[in-house]
């Protein structure tokens, strides 16, 4: 092979190398544009504020802020002395109405009472039974049970304080699973699917934790071409709690391009 051919082949190889470097550089630049650092805050999977359903004085709140509780445990006890007394009265009236109705039934067999009086005595039993059921339901609302297991949050009312129906008393959270909300481009949905694993750096602890995508919301934002996703901390870490924040670094995998 003469010198001219060697120079031509070397030039072709050089051009190929430049093209390859340019392609890698373009991919890296595009990849850097796709890479996103997202702020994230830990949120409990379930949380709510327990409120009074009846007007009453708070008799006892056995759970303290930060303490754990089990589902079905009594968290708030209201003073229902008055409706309890009314219930006893209603039960006595119910028994009296039932006796009258049974007596009217016996008298009706001998045509000693009219059908109107008989139906009225039966209606009195139904009315007394409804009064008993209403007061029993009211008393049941005086004991507020935990709808799920978790921890007590902020206490918004104190013992011996009178509360009105709908007034907030105690915040509770289920921190058995901590969630993270993040916004990602819709073009990522070809690879960003439930079960995808990544990591989050929590500033409060200075540590990195494993995260797993749990679900993607059903509607995308057409303006920003993005969609909200929810991930969960993949594991149990006692030092983590709701409200802590950190950073998630996400980028499309090379195989997706």
Q: What is the pLDDT of residues 116-125, one digit of tens each?
A: 888 998 899 9
Most confident of the ranges 6-20, 32-46, 189-203: 189-203
Which tens digits make up the pLDDT trace of 198-248?
A: 999 999 999 999 999 999 999 999 999 999 999 999 998 989 998 899 999
Looking up tokens 């200075």 gives 206
Of 15-19, 56-60, 103-107, 133-137, least confident by mean pLDDT is 15-19
pLDDT on residue 57: 95
Which contiguous run of DSSP H or E holds residue 164? none
Q: What is the pLDDT of residue 18?
A: 37
Average pLDDT for residues 22-39, to the nearest whole number? 52
Q: What is the pLDDT of residue 255?
A: 58
Q: How confident is the model at residue 26 (pLDDT cuts 50, 70, 90)?
A: very low
Give 6's pLDDT tier (boundaries 50, 70, 90). very low
Q: In sequence order, which ranges of the chain are alpha helices (DSSP H)? A: 3-34, 81-109, 115-140
In this predicted structure, the answer to whether residue 25 has a pLDDT above a threshold of 50 is: no
Q: Minimal CA–CA distance to 249: which of 231, 235, 236, 237?
A: 231
Tokens of 61: 């709140």
pTM for this entry: 0.71
CB atoms within 10 A of CB 88: 12
| In the block, residue with structure tokens 């907030």 | 168
On whether the CB atoms of residues 242 and 44 are closer than 8 A, the answer is yes
Residue 136 has pLDDT above 90, yes or no: yes
Which domains are assigned to the chain? 36-46+176-256 (2.40.30.170), 47-171 (2.40.50.100)
Rg of the chain taking only CA atoms, in angstroms: 35
- Mention every residue, 6+ apart, whose C-beta is less than 8 A from residue 74: 62, 143, 144, 145, 146
Annotate 24-55 with DSSP letters as a single string: HHHHHHHHHHH-EEEEEEEEEEEEEEEE-SS-
In this model, does residue 51 exceed pLDDT 80?
Answer: yes
Q: Return the structure tokens found at 69.
A: 């509780």
């Amino acid at each position: 092979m003469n010198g001219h051919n060697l120079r031509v082949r070397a030039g072709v190889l050089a051009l190929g190398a430049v093209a390859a470097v340019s392609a890698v550089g373009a991919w890296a630049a595009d990849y850097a544009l796709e890479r996103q650092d997202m702020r994230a805050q830990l949120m409990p999977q379930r949380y709510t504020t327990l409120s009074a359903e009846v007007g009453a004085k708070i008799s006892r709140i056995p759970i303290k802020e930060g303490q754990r509780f089990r589902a079905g445990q009594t968290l708030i006890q209201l003073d229902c002395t008055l409706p309890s007394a009314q219930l006893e009265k209603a039960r006595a009236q119910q028994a009296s109405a039932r006796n009258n109705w049974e007596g009217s039934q016996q008298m009706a067999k001998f045509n000693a009472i009219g059908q109107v009086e008989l139906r009225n005595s039966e209606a009195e039993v139904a009315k007394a039974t409804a009064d008993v059921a209403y007061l029993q339901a009211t008393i049941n609302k005086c004991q507020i049970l935990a709808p799920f297991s978790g921890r007590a949050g902020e206490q918004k009312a104190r013992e011996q304080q009178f509360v009105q129906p709908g007034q907030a008393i105690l915040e509770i959270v289920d921190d058995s699973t901590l969630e993270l909300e993040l916004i990602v481009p819709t073009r990522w949905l070809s690879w960003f699917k439930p079960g995808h694993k990544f990591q989050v750096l929590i500033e409060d602890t200075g540590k990195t934790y494993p995260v797993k995508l749990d679900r993607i919301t059903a509607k995308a934002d057409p303006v920003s071409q993005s969609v909200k996703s929810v991930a969960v901390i993949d594991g149990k870490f006692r030092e983590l709690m709701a409200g802590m924040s950190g950073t998630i670094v996400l980028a499309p995998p090379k195989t997706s391009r």
